[in-house]
Amino acid sequence: MSPYQFHAERSAALRQQLVQLPVPVQHPFIHDGERPEAPARDRKRRGRRLGAGTLAGALVLGALALATTPEDRSEDASRIIEALNHPQQETDRVPAGALPVLGNAGINASDTRLLGHSATITYYGAPAAENLSPGAPAGKTICMIPVDAHGESKTIGCTLSKSFESYGLKIETPDRTEAGWLVVPAAAKTSLESVKKEGGWTQQAPNFLARNNN
């Protein structure tokens, strides 16, 4: 028998065996080494990455909030005397006769600003470096300098800048016929209302009230 002789019965049996072999199950779109649950893990990883990004954004916003916190201006005299934000004018300068009282209070002559006037008194305002009263609380002060008709000043009134809102700064003549009252601009109308029974008070500027009761 030739080694290449065809046997029909054996060929038929072989085909029958091939038909009966199990066909492996294949998952579509899954490459070797992957499992069906892989997409779920991917979603978790993406969720973690999203969470980290959100946290980073929160940290940045927190830092921005800290950076924009308003500065403390409680000892800034210019919030009360707005003219301090502008160069000193000739009318803001106290007369030569009043300069000694400035030196005694530690006030720079270039820092004075005109506030207003009553019948015989002209009032100037200025910041001072520190509280000058022995035993008083420390802190920057704001002062008012009354100058009489002769261009002289024998007294000066000062108060702490950081507590200025509580009352402001008022100076009166001994007989109380004239007075000047430096206040926070936002409180001027309320302050004027509080002294309406005394008579003679007028508002001369957003931050200054004067009394003439001669």
Q: What is the pTM for the complete model shown? A: 0.65
Give the pLDDT of residue 76: 86
Tokens 């007075």 belong to: 179
Task: Give the integer Cα–Cα distance in Å for 183 and 26.
Answer: 87
Q: What angle do CA 96, 97, 100 make, to 5 degrees?
A: 90
* Helix/strand/coil percentages in the chain, nearest 5: 40, 20, 40
Residue 157 has φ and ψ, to the nearest 5°, of -120, 135
pLDDT in tens, 2-28: 444 444 455 555 455 544 545 454 544
Q: For residues 34 and 138, give the distance between their C-alpha atoms in angstroms, rounded to a whole number.
A: 75
- Give the integer Cα–Cα distance in Å for 108 and 87: 14
Query: What is the rounded average pLDDT of the residues 54-80?
Result: 63
Count CB atoms within 10 A of the CB of residue 191: 19
Q: What are the strands, taking DSSP E only, across 79-200? A: 113-117, 122-128, 141-147, 157-160, 169-172, 178-182
Bridge-partner residues for 123, per DSSP?
Answer: 116, 146
Residue with tokens 């016929």: 177
For residue 9, report the phi and psi dihedrals to the nearest 5 degrees. -70, -35
| DSSP output for 56-105 | HHHHHHHHHHHHTPPP--TT-GGGTSGGGGSPPPGGGSPPGGGHHHHHHH
Rg of the chain over Cα atoms, rounded to whole angstroms, equals 44
How does pLDDT run across 104-149, given as a tens digit for each residue? 888 999 999 999 999 999 999 999 876 555 665 667 889 999 999 9
Tokens of 54: 């959100």
Q: What is the mean pLDDT of residues 194-214?
A: 91
